[in-house]
C-alpha cells in the first residue's frame, strides 16, 4: 500500500487522486493533520500529525505501507514568518521518515525539494543540476539540508529515497498555501471571477513554473523508475516553463480581454529574486525520460476552461 502524508495540500490532493486512479482507491491511504478535502473523501483517510512518529509507525504497520510520499512542509513565505517552527517541521519530519525507511518500516520514500535550494549567487538562467547553492530563505535552507539528508541515507543506509526540485506548481483543483509562486494560481481565479488582480511580485520577475498534471506525472514516474536509473539521490532538476507576471497576464488577456492587473510587490519579491529564472533538467531527461507536456498557452487554456 501507498501512504501520502500531507494529502490535503496543493500537490497532495491531486497526487492522491491520480495514485488512486492508477493503483486503486483502496490501495492509497491519504493522511493529513486536517480533515479530508472533498476530492479525497471516497478513500481511506487517517488524521495524522507527521511529527508524531509513533502514530506514523502505527499507520505504516496498520496498512502494510511499502511507499510513502511525504508532502508536509511550510512553504517559502510562511516559513519566513516562523523560521524555527518551519525548520523543525520541514527537517524533523524528513529525518524521522528516513529513519523509519532505514529500519525497514517501508521500502521507498518520495520527498519534494524545490528550486528554492538555489540562491542569489546560483547561475539564474538554465541553472545546472550540480551548481553553487546559497539559499537565503528558511524554506530553501531546509530543502537544501533535506537533499543532503536524502543523499546521505541513500549512501550510508541504502534508503531508496527519490526527489524532485519542483518549480512553482500551478493547478486549478487545489489551492496552494504560503508560497512565493502562489500568485500564478490566484491570477486565474481572479480572471475567472471577473475581478482585478493585484500581484505581489513585479511584472518582470521570471520564475520556473509547471502545470500540476506534469508535476504529478513526474512524481509517479520517478517513483516507478528502476533504481539503477536514479543517479541523483539528492534531488532532480525538472522544468516545464518560465514566465513573468506580465506574461501570464498577457496570456490570460487573450481569453479575458478586460482583465486588469496591478503590481504591489511585498517581501516575496526578494524571495523570488533569489531564485532561478530557468532550469536545466537534462539529467532527469536522460535518467528516467522526463519530458513536460504543458507550456503557458496550453496550461492557461485548460485552467480557464475547467476552473
- Residues with a catalytic annotation lie at 139
Please report where in the chains the cell 506514523 appears, as a residue: 56
Q: What is d(CA 226, CA 249) in angstroms, rounded to the nearest whole number? A: 40
From the list 51-59, 112-120, 146-154, 219-227, the region that binds ligand VAH by CB under 6 A is 112-120
Give the contacts of 191 (CB within 8 A, at least 6 positions apart): 197, 252, 255, 256, 259, 304
CA dihedral 109, 114, 118, 119 (to 10 degrees): -130
Among 90, 180, 242, 274, the residue binding ligand VAH under the rule CB under 6 A is 180
Which residue's CB is nearer to ligand VAH, number 43 or number 167? 167
- Closer by beta carbon to ligand VAH, 44 or else 116: 116
33 dihedral zone (left: phi>0; alpha: psi -120 to 50; beta): alpha
Contacts of 19 (CB under 8 A, 6+ apart): 2, 4, 28, 69, 220
Among 116, 144, 238, 279, binds ligand VAH (CB under 6 A): 116
- x/- binding map, residues 127-166, to ligand VAH, per CB under 6 A? ------------x--------------------------x
Place of cell 501512504: 3
Report if residue 119 touches ligand VAH, rule: CB under 6 A: no
For position 296 contacting ligand VAH by CB under 6 A, the verdict is no
Q: How far is CA 252 from CA 185, 214, 270, in A?
A: 12, 20, 25
How far is Cα 17 from Cα 14, in angstroms, rounded to an integer? Answer: 5
Q: Does 181 bind ligand VAH (CB under 6 A)?
A: yes
Distance from C-alpha of 197 to C-alpha of 85, rounded to nearest angstrom: 31
Nearer to ligand VAH, 50 or 184 (CB): 184
**Taking CB under 6 A as the rule, does residue 76 contact ligand VAH?**
yes
Which range of residues in 1-9, 55-63, 110-118, 298-306 is near ligand VAH by CB under 6 A? 110-118
With binding defined as CB under 6 A, does residue 43 bind ligand VAH?
no
Q: What residues make contact with ligand VAH under the rule CB under 6 A?
A: 75-76, 114-116, 139, 166-168, 179-181
Amino acid at each position: 500500500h501507498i501512504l501520502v502524508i500531507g494529502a490535503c495540500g496543493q500537490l497532495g490532493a491531486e497526487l492522491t487522486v491520480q495514485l488512486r486512479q492508477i493503483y486503486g482507491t483502496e490501495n492509497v491511504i491519504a493522511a493529513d493533520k486536517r480533515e479530508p478535502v472533498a476530492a479525497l473523501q471516497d478513500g481511506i483517510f487517517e488524521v495524522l500529525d507527521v511529527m508524531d512518529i509513533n502514530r506514523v509507525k502505527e499507520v505504516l504497520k496498520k496498512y502494510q505501507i511499502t511507499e510513502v510520499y511525504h508532502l508536509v512542509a511550510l512553504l517559502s513565505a510562511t516559513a519566513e514568518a516562523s523560521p524555527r517552527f518551519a525548520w523543525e517541521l520541514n527537517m524533523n519530519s524528513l529525518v524521522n521518515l528516513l529513519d523509519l525507511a532505514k529500519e525497514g518500516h517501508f521500502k521507498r520514500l518520495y520527498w519534494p525539494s524545490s528550486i528554492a535550494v538555489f540562491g542569489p549567487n546560483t547561475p539564474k538562467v538554465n541553472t545546472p543540476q550540480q551548481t553553487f547553492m546559497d539559499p537565503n530563505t528558511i524554506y530553501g535552507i531546509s530543502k537544501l539540508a533535506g537533499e543532503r539528508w536524502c543523499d546521505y541515507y541513500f549512501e550510508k543506509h541504502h534508503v531508496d529515497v527519490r526527489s524532485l526540485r519542483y518549480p512553482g506548481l500551478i493547478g486549478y483543483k487545489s489551492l496552494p498555501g504560503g508560497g512565493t509562486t502562489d500568485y500564478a494560481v490566484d491570477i486565474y481565479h481572479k480572471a475567472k471571477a471577473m475581478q482585478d488582480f493585484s500581484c505581489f511580485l513585479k511584472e518582470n520577475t521570471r520564475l520556473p513554473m509547471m502545470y500540476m498534471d506534469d508535476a504529478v506525472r513526474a512524481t509517479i514516474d520517478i517513483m516507478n523508475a528502476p533504481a539503477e536509473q536514479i543517479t541523483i539521490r539528492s534531488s532532480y532538476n525538472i522544468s516545464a516553463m518560465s514566465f513573468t507576471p506580465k506574461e501570464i497576464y498577457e496570456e490570460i488577456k487573450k481569453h479575458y480581454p478586460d482583465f486588469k492587473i496591478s503590481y504591489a510587490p511585498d517581501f516575496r519579491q526578494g524571495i523570488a529574486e533569489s531564485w532561478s529564472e530557468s532550469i536545466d533538467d537534462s539529467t532527469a531527461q536522460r535518467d528516467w525520460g522526463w519530458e513536460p507536456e504543458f507550456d503557458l498557452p496550453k496550461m492557461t487554456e485548460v485552467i480557464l476552461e475547467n476552473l
